[in-house]
Amino acid sequence: MTAVELPGLELPGRSRAVERMDVERVAPDDLARALADLDWLTALGLAHRPTLGWLARIARGRETLSVLDVGSGRGDMLRRIAAWGARRGIRLRLVGVDLNPDATAAARAATDPALPIVFRTGDALRLGDAEAPDVIISAHFAHHLGDAELVGFLRWMEETARVGWFVNDLQRHALLRAALTGIGRVVPLHRFVVDDGPVSVDRSLVRAEWEAALAAAGIPRERVELRWHMPFRWGVGTRP
Ligand SMILES: C[S@@+](CC[C@H](N)C(=O)[O-])C[C@H]1O[C@@H](n2cnc3c(N)ncnc32)[C@H](O)[C@@H]1O
């Protein structure tokens, strides 16, 4: 199935403001710089840890694992997963999908071709289940979706991933908003990162909204872990 919009959920606390990165077309080099700055900020926020921690649990006892990263941007998460798998001797098949062809190009350019990673351009909401992976992950992607799209995306992951799925995203919180606004004032980051940071926070979910989205997607609550991670981050995924 594709991740069709599932109406019936409205989360009025989330902002409807649009991120510049989602609507402004810029030169490929310019976008690559924005995504590289995003990588820097993501590393500063220890953002990879929840995903790698969940993967370590879900991969226990496995010799192979296929992973689909949705909204993969410049591909930093998949490169880290490749290094993680190499250390553990797990044979990986890694695919990153991003809506923006310039993000796909930036990810390819930043990635050693010897790594087991393929980057493709595609809409996460229309991927279908032709090549169902073991695991579907995303980072800083869920907040790009509207409420009905998010519910459809959760349902699609639940029906498509053979082993499990994991969403890593920001928590809507005034302190995180203030921190990102402050960093944007003192660090010479790309204008997209400066402007989109606070918007991303405003579009992100709080715990009760994640609970509501999971219920609207019809995913049994006992199947899912909803964990808060320092600083200001949710990890939402199937229980290993
Ligand atoms: C904030 S970036 C996150 C990139 C990367 N996952 C990270 O953590 O740095 C969000 C990415 O999602 C992509 N995106 C937005 N809507 C999408 C869709 N419907 N399907 C696939 N990718 C999408 C954007 O092009 C962008 O590269």
Q: Parse the chain into domains and list their residue ranges.
A: 20-238
Q: Which parts of the chain sit beneath pLDDT 50? A: none
pLDDT for res 231 = 93
Ligand 1 proximal residues by C-beta, below 6 Å: 22, 38, 42, 70-73, 76-77, 97-100, 103, 123-125, 139-141, 144
Nearest-angstrom CA–CA distance, 98 and 1: 18
Nearest-angstrom CA–CA distance, 35 and 38: 5
88-136 per-position pLDDT tens digit: 999 999 999 999 999 999 999 999 999 999 999 999 999 887 779 999 9
pLDDT for res 131 = 76
Task: Report the CATH architecture of 20-238.
Answer: 3-Layer(aba) Sandwich (3.40)
Distance from residue 101's CA to the centre of ligand 1 (Å):
11
Which sign does the torsion angle of CA 105, 107, 113, 117 carry? negative
Q: Which atom number of ligand 1 is nearest to the Cα of residue 168? A: 8
pLDDT for res 115 = 97
pLDDT for res 129 = 76
pLDDT for res 8 = 74
Distance from residue 153's CA to the centre of ligand 1 (Å):
13
Distance from residue 102's CA to the centre of ligand 1 (Å):
11
pLDDT for res 130 = 72
Residue nearest to atom 12 of ligand 1 (CA): 71
pLDDT for res 1 = 60
Residue nearest to atom 13 of ligand 1 (CA): 71
Mean pLDDT of the chain: 95
Separation of first and last alpha carbons in the chain: 23
